[in-house]
Structure formats: C-alpha cells, structure tokens
Amino acid sequence: MSVEHHEPEVSRLLAPLEAADPLTLERLHNSLAVCAEQSHALDIAYRTIDSPLGTLLLAASQRGVLRVAFSREGHDAVLQHLADHISPRILLAPARLDTAARELDEYFNQRRKAFDVPLDFSLSKGFRLNVLEHLPAIPYGRTESYTKVAEAAGNPRAVRAVGTACATNPLPLLLPCHRVVRSDGTYGGYLGGTEAKRFLLSLEGAA
C-alpha cells in the first residue's frame, strides 16, 4: 500500500521505521507456523525438497499428505489450486512434512521401496480415486499396463480414464503412477515428464 504523506518531511521523519528486518520477520513467521500447528488452525502445511527430479513441493492437511508437485507444474499455481479447492489456511510449515521428506529422500537413495506416511485423497474422487488406491499394489521395480490397472480398478473398459487418473495423480511418487506403462512397453505420459518416468523406473531397476 502506498502511503501518501502530504509533507515529504514526515516520510523523512518516519523513514527509519520503514527499515525491513528480514531476520525478525523470518523468526516471527516460523513461530507463527509452529503456533498455527499447535492450535490446529493450519489446514495445509507445505515445504519444498530438493530431489534428482528437481524441487518438489509437498503439501499436507491435518490428515495426511495431500499433494506432491513437480516444479514444471508451477508451485504457486499448485498452492493457489489448494487454496481454492481445499482451504486458503496455508503456511510454509516444514515440520508436518518431515517424515514424508525423509521417506522420499530414502527412496531416491534406493534405501526405501514403499511409503507409509498417511495420505489425504481429498483431491480425487470416483473412478480416479479407485485407480489411485490401486497404485500402491504395484510392487517396487515392476510395471503394470493401463489395461491391467483398469481391470484392477473395477472397469476394464476405462483404459483412457486410467491414463487421465495417472496424468492427474495429486500424489506422484507416493502413489507410483510411474509404474503404469503402455501395453506395448513404451512409457506413456507422466506429470513430471517422460524423462522423470524413465529415471524412476531405472532407479527401481524396472527399465
């Protein structure tokens, strides 16, 4: 907000109060995040982590991890989508995502094959939700065709819908949609890009 001082002298007088104090503000922000968590006022906590696939955004509700996003999705856009569809009570509050961050780090270092953090499926419903719930059943290092996933999700004819469900998976990596490939053995699309899918399958020794 621009402040119009009728007298420039008043601006000069108060100028020292305008001095930004980034360290104090950072400290206040962090204690706000802790206090918000303790008083259950924080609907969505988020943080970012570095990974071989670039910076990942992790967001969790009080129930569990809600969203994992690649940087190509635009993290600001992802947070705005969460504000619009879940709640605008969103803060950068890393603590809630410590376990998820550690498990992902172990996964990328080939020290973990399955995730056990609680998940929140609020962003998915209907057949897409059936598909997502089936994904953890595909073992580490293995792949399954879109057709087989459609059968497992209860609608063998909905192969295309399986493709859409995987392409819009709000929880990539944690729900391994990268293990779903075309019947002809080619990769098929991936939210993080085909390169990322190739990387993950070779990390798991499946490619």
Partner 1 sequence: METKQPFEHVVREHGPVVLRVCRAVLGVDEAEDAWSETFIAALKAYPELPPGANIEAWLVTIAHRKSLDLIRARNRRPSVVEELPARASVLGIPGDGQSDVLDAVGQLPPKQRQVIAYHYLAGLPYKDIALLLGGTADAARRAGADGIRNLRAVLAVVPEAVVKGETP
Cα separations in angstroms, 49 against 46, 66, 156, 200: 10, 15, 37, 17
Task: Give dist(CA 59, CA 56) in Å, integer.
Answer: 10
Q: Could you tell me the smallest distance in angstroms from the CB atom of residue 6 to partner 1?
A: 10
Is residue 84 within 8 A of residue 77, CB to CB? The reply is no
Task: State yes or no: residue 55 binds partner 1 (CB under 8 A).
Answer: no
Q: Could you tell me the smallest distance in angstroms from the CB atom of residue 141 to partner 1?
A: 37
Q: Could you tell me the smallest distance in angstroms from the CB atom of residue 37 to partner 1?
A: 11
Which is catalytic among the residues 69, 79, 165, 177?
177
| CB of 38 or CB of 186, closer to partner 1 | 38
By CB under 8 A, the residues from 143 to 172 that bind partner 1 are none
Task: Give dist(CA 123, CA 24) in Å, integer.
Answer: 36
Tokens found for residue 71: 């940087």
Here's the x/- map for partner 1, 2-41, by CB under 8 A: it reads as xxxx-xxxx-xxxxxxxxxx--xx--xx-xx--xx--x-x
| CB of 23 or CB of 157, closer to partner 1 | 23
By CB under 8 A, the residues from 78 to 137 that bind partner 1 are 79-80, 82-84, 87-92
φ, ψ at 46 (rounded to 5°):
-140, 165
Is residue 194 within 8 A of residue 187, CB to CB? The reply is yes
Q: Could you tell me the smallest distance in angstroms from the CB atom of residue 140 to partner 1?
A: 34
| CB of 32 or CB of 117, closer to partner 1 | 32
CA-wise closest residue to 149 among 125, 124, 175: 175
Instruction: Using the structure block, give the residue that is written with the tokens 């497992």.
Output: 152
| CB of 18 or CB of 184, closer to partner 1 | 18
Residue 177 is a catalytic residue: yes
- Consecutive H or E run containing 127: helix 126-134
Residues 6+ away with beta carbon under 8 Å from 50? 56
Which residues of the chain form contacts with partner 1 (CB under 8 A)?
Answer: 1-5, 7-10, 12-21, 24-25, 28-29, 31-32, 35-36, 39, 41-42, 44, 46, 79-80, 82-84, 87-92
Residues tagged active-site: 177
